Amino acid sequence: MLQQTQVATVIPYYERFLASFPDVRALAAAREDRVLEYWSGLGYYRRAHHLHAAAKTILAAHGGEFPRDPDAIAALPGVGRSTAAAIAAFAHGTPGAILDGNVKRVLARHRGIAGFPGAPKVAAKLWAAAEALLPSRGGTARIETYTQALMDLGATVCTRTKPRCGDCPVAGDCVARREDRVADLPTPRPQKALPHRALRLLVIERAGTILLEKRPGAGIWAGLWSLPEVDVDADVVAHCRARFGAEVEMGDVLPPIEHGFTHFRLTLHPQRIAPRAWPPRAESPGQVWLTREDALAAALPAPVRKLLRTL
């Protein structure tokens, strides 16, 4: 949960999640819908899918016991090299280099490593620096203390803006500080225009309920419940007739919703729809009619939840 989401936001989600899934067996046995329901609002839903899949893998491949070896941890769905090393350090005291966003910033400045950290050649230099700075196995430093300190250094001292270089314990040999390059490192992501997509959301309402559809298992908002969507220029009446076998009337056009993803921007144009006739054959396992209150309790994408709250 802490990957891509701030601590203050995570805490209530974390507490509810653990109350519902207290151990790996409970999480592995849970329905995907229920896992996504408790994740709804945190965004980056692929993390929830990976977490659920990892629990199943731990049950099937490791007898329900979380693996101790960093390589075995890294093989779990959604766990990469840095996260695996952090888990191994904190849980078992196993030495391993980490490289989260804060640590990348610390190392880029301390070692004077220029270039966007996401670029493969730059990432390789950062990993080499992280490995080189690990406490020696025969020393007295505890790897969990070192790992936590390194992350905290980036989170509280070597911050992205207004770093507190005067309070930094490693300022004495920091290349960026010596060369007056603190504001330049790490190098920002190269700017490029994000593609833009637009979709029309169909708010189909019948007898106090709203039609929701389950999204595919891959792609944006995978596995979540959402509203039917069509191209912004589509003939909505013809679409509903062809897809659902339903005759509908157009209602109000609601204000558009802007939503940003990592790789593109999305504009949603909600359109209220009132069915005149909705045949039984239009009901499928991937569709459900819910009241607004019940819909808001389901696993919804954030912009759809925001929309339903305005109805």
- Looking at residue 267, what is its pLDDT? 94
pLDDT, one tens digit per residue, over 240-278 is: 999 888 889 999 999 999 998 888 899 999 999 998 887
Query: Which sequence spans correspond to the domains of the chain?
Result: 7-184, 196-310
Alpha-carbon gap, residue 111 to 178, rounded angstroms: 11
Alpha-carbon gap, residue 281 to 22, rounded angstroms: 40
Q: Over 80: is that where the pLDDT of 147 sits?
A: yes
* 219: Cα within 13 Å, side-chain hemisphere: 5
The token pair at 52 is 């659920």
Q: Of the given ranges (133-142, 143-152, 166-175), which has the lowest mean pLDDT?
A: 133-142
- Looking at residue 140, what is its pLDDT? 56
pLDDT, one tens digit per residue, over 280-305 is: 655 567 889 999 999 998 889 989 99
The token pair at 273 is 């729809």
Q: How far is CA 202 from CA 138, 226, 234, 241, 268, in A?
A: 64, 10, 11, 13, 10
With cut-offs at 50, 70 and 90, classify the pLDDT of residue 48: very high
* pTM flag (> 0.75): no
Query: Is the peptide bond between 186 and the residue preceding it cis, with omega within 30 degrees of 0?
Result: yes
- Looking at residue 163, what is its pLDDT? 96
pLDDT, one tens digit per residue, over 53-63 is: 999 999 999 99
- Looking at residue 141, what is its pLDDT? 66
- Looking at residue 220, what is its pLDDT? 86
Q: What is the mean pLDDT of residues 72-88?
A: 94
User: Which among 300, 273, 266, 268 has a CA at the least distance from the CA of 200?
Assistant: 268
- Give how far the C-alpha of residue 68 lies from the chain's centroid of Cα atoms, to the nearest Å: 25
Say how many Å lie between the first and final Cα of the chain, rounded: 30
- Looking at residue 14, what is its pLDDT? 96
Alpha-carbon gap, residue 36 to 4, rounded angstroms: 17
pLDDT, one tens digit per residue, over 214-248 is: 998 888 888 899 999 999 999 999 999 998 888 89
- Looking at residue 283, what is its pLDDT? 58
With pLDDT > 70 as the criterion, what percentage of the chain qualifies?
97
Query: E strands of the chain, at which residues?
Result: 196-206, 209-214, 225-226, 229-231, 247-253, 257-260, 265-277, 287-290
The radius of gyration computed from the CA coordinates of the chain, to the nearest angstrom, equals: 24
**Pairing outcome for strands 225-226 and 196-206:** unpaired
Average pLDDT, the chain: 91
- Looking at residue 153, what is its pLDDT? 97
CATH number assigned to the domain with residue range 7-184, chosen from the 4 options 1.10.340.30, 3.60.150.10, 1.10.150.110, 3.40.50.720: 1.10.340.30
- Looking at residue 168, what is its pLDDT? 96
Residue 268, φ and ψ in degrees, nearest 5:
-105, 130
Domain 196-310 classification at class level? alpha beta
Q: Do domains 7-184 and 196-310 have the same CATH topology?
A: no
